[in-house]
Structure 1
Amino acid sequence: MKFYNRETELNHLQNWSNKAATGGALMTIVIGRRRVGKTALLNQAFPRGGEYRALYLFVSRKQERLLCEEFVEQIRALLNVPIFGNPSSLREVMEILLQYSCTEPLTLILDEFQDIQRVNPAFFSELQHLWDQYKGKSQMHLICCGSLYSLMTHLFQNSKEPLFGRADNRINLQPLRTQFIAELLHDQKRFSPETLLQWYMLSGGVPKYLEWLVNIDAHENIWQTLVSEHSLLIEEGHYRLAEEFGPEHGTYFSILSAIAAGHTSRPAIESLLEISVGPQLDRLEKEFEIIERHRPVLSKPGTRLVKYKMVDAFLAFWFRFIYRHRSAIEIGNYSFIHQVIERDYPTWSGHWLEQIHRERIAASGQYNIVGSYWERGNQNEIDIVAINELEKIALIAEVKRNRANIRLSRLQEKAEKLRQQLKGYDVRFEGFSLEDFID
Structure 2
Amino acid sequence: MANFIDRQKERATLEKEYARSGSSLVILYGRRRVGKTTLISEFIKDKKALFYLASEESESQNRIAFQEKVADFINNDLLRAADIKSWDLLFKQIIDAKLPTKPVIVIDEFQYIGKSNSAFPSVFQRIWEEILKKQSVMVILCGSLISMMESQTLSYSSPLYGRRTAQIRLTQIPFRYYREFFPYNERRNLIEMYAVTGGVPKYIESFSNCSDIYQAIEDNVLNQNSYLYDEPNFLLQQEVSEIGSYFSIIRSIAAGNHKISAIASMLEVKVTSLSKYLQTLINLDILEREVPITEENPEKSKKGLYKIKDNYLRFWFAFIYPNRGFIESGNESFVLDKIQKGFISSQAAFVYEDVCREKMWELNANSSWPFCFSKVGRWWNSEEEIDIAALDPDGNNLILGECKFWQEPVGVSVLRSLEEKAYSVEWRKQKRKVWFILFSISGYTDELQQIAANRNDLILSE
Q: 2:194 aligns with which of 194, 200, 210?
A: 200
Residue 290 (1) aligns with residue 286 (2): yes
Q: 2:258 aligns with which of 234, 259, 264?
A: 264
The corresponding residue for 2:127 is 130
Alignment of 1:112-131 (within 5 A): 112-131=109-128
Q: Aligned letter for 1:69? A: I
Contact in 2 for aligned 1:65/1:89 (Cα 8 Å): no
Contact in 1 for aligned 2:438/2:461 (Cα 8 Å): no
Residue 313 (1) aligns with residue 316 (2): no
Mapped to 2, the partners of 1:346 and 1:150 lie a distance apart of 34
The corresponding residue for 1:324 is 322
Superposition deviation, residue 165 in structure 1: 1.8
Percentage of pairs with the same residue: 30
Mapped to 2, the partners of 1:408 and 1:387 lie a distance apart of 19
SS at match of 2:425: helix
The corresponding residue for 1:4 is 5
What is the CA deviation profile of residues 19-46 of structure 1, one whole-angstrom value per residue up to 9, with x for unaligned ones?
1xx3x32111001110100000001111
**Structure 1 residues 102, 222: closer, same or farther in 2, change over 3 A?**
closer
The corresponding residue for 1:255 is 249
Alignment of 1:14-33 (within 5 A): 14-19=15-20, 22=21, 24-33=22-31
SS at match of 1:230: coil
Q: TM-score normalised to the size of structure 1?
A: 0.90
SS at match of 1:57: strand
Mapped to 1, the partners of 2:34 and 2:359 lie a distance apart of 21
Q: TM-score normalised to the size of structure 2?
A: 0.86
Contact in 1 for aligned 2:258/2:305 (Cα 8 Å): yes
What is the CA deviation profile of residues 374-398 of structure 1, one whole-angstrom value per residue up to 9, with x for unaligned ones?
113xx21000001223343321111
Q: Aligned letter for 1:353? A: Y
What is the CA deviation profile of residues 52-83 of structure 1, one whole-angstrom value per residue up to 9, with x for unaligned ones?
21111100122444433332222222322465
Superposition deviation, residue 131 in structure 1: 1.2
Alignment of 1:344-363 (within 5 A): 344-348=342-346, 349-363=348-362
**Structure 1 residues 408, 101: closer, same or farther in 2, change over 3 A?**
farther
What is the CA deviation profile of residues 162-214 of structure 1, one whole-angstrom value per residue up to 9, with x for unaligned ones?
2222212100111111111122211xx2x112211111111111110000011
Deviates more, 1:261-270 or 1:97-106: 97-106
What is the CA deviation profile of residues 286-326 of structure 1, one whole-angstrom value per residue up to 9, with x for unaligned ones?
x3222111110112313211101122111111111112222
Q: CA RMSD in A?
A: 2.3
Mapped to 2, the partners of 1:14 and 1:75 lie a distance apart of 23
The corresponding residue for 1:431 is 438
**Structure 1 residues 430, 18: closer, same or farther in 2, change over 3 A?**
closer
**Aligned pairs, number:** 426
Mapped to 2, the partners of 1:181 and 1:438 lie a distance apart of 18
Q: 1:372 aligns with which of 374, 378, 382?
A: 378
Contact in 2 for aligned 1:25/1:140 (Cα 8 Å): yes
Deviates more, 1:155-164 or 1:236-245: 155-164
Q: Aligned letter for 1:141? A: M
Alignment of 1:177-192 (within 5 A): 177-186=174-183, 189=184, 191-192=185-186
Residue 242 (1) aligns with residue 249 (2): no
Q: Aligned letter for 1:297? A: I
Contact in 1 for aligned 2:193/2:213 (Cα 8 Å): no
Where in structure 1 are there 5+ consecutive unaligned residues? none
Contact in 2 for aligned 1:374/1:380 (Cα 8 Å): yes
The corresponding residue for 2:146 is 149
The corresponding residue for 1:399 is 403
Mapped to 1, the partners of 2:108 and 2:278 lie a distance apart of 29
Residue 388 (1) aligns with residue 392 (2): yes
Mapped to 1, the partners of 2:89 and 2:124 lie a distance apart of 10
The corresponding residue for 1:109 is 106
Where in structure 2 are there 5+ consecutive unaligned residues? 366-371, 444-459
Q: Aligned letter for 1:331? A: S
Mapped to 2, the partners of 1:238 and 1:339 lie a distance apart of 24
Contact in 2 for aligned 1:397/1:431 (Cα 8 Å): yes
Q: 1:233 aligns with which of 228, 249, 255?
A: 228
Q: Aligned letter for 1:369? A: K
The corresponding residue for 1:416 is 423
The corresponding residue for 2:333 is 335
Mapped to 2, the partners of 1:411 and 1:215 lie a distance apart of 40
